[in-house]
Structure 1
Amino acid sequence: MIALLTRDLKLAVRAGGGFGLGLAFFLILVALVAFGVGPESALLARIAPGILWVGALLACLLSLDRIFALDREDGSLDLLATAPLPMEGIVTVKALAHWITTGLPLVVAAPLLALMLSLPGEGYLWLFLSLLLGTPALSVLGTFGAALTVGLKRGGLLMSLIVLPLYVPTLIFGAEVARRGAGGLSVEVPLLLLAGITCATLALLPFASAAVLRVNLR
């Protein structure tokens, strides 16, 4: 499992469109919003939680089609399917590698980029915590979408159509945590709901992804 994780991390760093692409997209999106809205601090502060969460969501979406595509192209996926490792474990490692190379950099960068959007000081901690808690769900949901479309040529658009509706609950509650935190309001309810979504995806979707991969590899 550790060897597979190390291999996927190296591939993400070496392969084009992997590590760093999501972070660059996140930075460009936030900068464009800040330039487009203009120097209206009150408006920027009000929309900052939603913009940052939408940017993180779209940045995660960029690299989802590469989770299984490289392994499918070189035949590694067929070898992994016959390996002694359970398919559920392989899927979990793939999702973890995606989160480390895509989600985690976004979590670290978000508070810095929030400065461009004039996010109130009370919201930085809650923005960081909401992304730290919610981005693993984005990676796991994305892995499920990638598993559904792994056998299709140019399945990226279809995968986006499948995954984006599944992302909506995480987006809603994640942005709500950051918004309430920035406004000094109670974040307990949306934070618990966000945690519940993440725990449910981590518990259930690796099995669904593994089942879909077994069907696609037959």
Structure 2
Amino acid sequence: MRALVLRDLRIAMRAGGGFGLGLAFFLIVVVLVPFGVGPERTVLARIAPGILWVAALLAALLSLDRIFALDHEDGSLALLATAPLPLEAAALAKALAHWITTGLPLTLAAPALGILLDLPGPAYGPLTLSLLAGTPALSLIGTFGAAVTVGNRRGGLLLSLLVLPLYVPVLIFGADGVRRAAEGLDPATPLLLVAGLSLGCLAALPFAAAAALRVNLR
């Protein structure tokens, strides 16, 4: 499993592998928002939690189609299906590699980009915690969606339509935790809920992704 994670990390760091693409998109969205809504600090501070979470969600969505597509094209996905490593563990390794290359950089960059949106000081800690707790769910859901659509010619569009509704609860609770902190309220409840969503995805979605892969590889 560790070898599979390291292999995916090496592929992601190559030219065209998608590493940094999500982070660049995240930066572009956050930078463009003040130009679109105006420089009013009170407006930016009010919408900052939602904008940061929506931008992170869309940035994570960009590289989902690469999770299994490259392996399917070169035939290594079929080899994974017959390897001693269970497909459930392979799906989990893929999700972990996606999170390391996408979710973790977004989490680390979010506080710096929050300055551009005039995010209130008390919200920076909850912002980092919410992304740290919620981005694993985005990667796990995306891995499941990529497994369902692998081999489909229009898999990118279908993948987006499949995973975006599943992302909504993570978005709601993640952004609500940051908003509560920005308003001086206790963010613990939504942060615990978003962490619970990630744990639930961790418990169920590797098995669902493996089942989808078995169906698509028949």
TM-score by structure 1 length? 0.98
> What runs of 5+ residues in structure 2 fail to find an aligned partner?
none
Q: Percent identity?
A: 72
| Superposition pairs of residues 140-159 of structure 1, within 5 angstroms | 140-159=140-159
> Which residue type is aligned with residue 46 of structure 1?
R
Alpha-carbon displacement from aligned partner over 1:105-157 (angstroms, at most 9, x marks no partner): 00000000000000000000000000000000000000000000002112100
Task: Give 1:39's aligned residue.
Answer: 39
Q: Tell me the residue number matched to 2:22.
A: 22
Deviation at 1:15, TM superposition (A): 4.4
Distance across 1 between alignment mates of 2:96 and 2:216: 22
> Aligned residue pairs: how many?
218
Displacement of 1:35 after TM fit?
1.7
Checking the alignment, whether the CA contact within 8 Å between 1:29 and 1:55 is kept in structure 2 is yes
- Determine whether 1:139 maps to 2:144: no
8 Å Cα contact 2:61/2:160 also seen in 1: yes
The aligned counterpart of 2:51 is 51
Specify the code of the residue in structure 2 equivalent to 1:91.
A
Task: Show structure 1 runs of 4+ deviating over 2 A.
Answer: none
User: Any conservation in 1 of the 2:68–2:77 contact (CA below 8 Å)?
Assistant: yes
Check whether the contact 1:170–1:197 (CA below 8 A) recurs between aligned residues: yes
Q: Distance in 2 between matches of 1:215 and 1:95?
A: 19
1:48, distance to aligned residue in structure 2 (A): 0.1
Unaligned runs of 5+ in 1: none
RMSD: 0.8
- Tell me which residue corresponds to 1:200: 200
Q: What are the superposed Cα offsets for residues 26-75 of structure 1, whole Å, 9 maximum, x if unpaired? A: 00000110222222000000000000000000000000000000000000
Q: Which residue pairs with 2:83 in the alignment?
A: 83
User: Please, which moves more after superposition, 192-201 or 92-101?
Assistant: 192-201
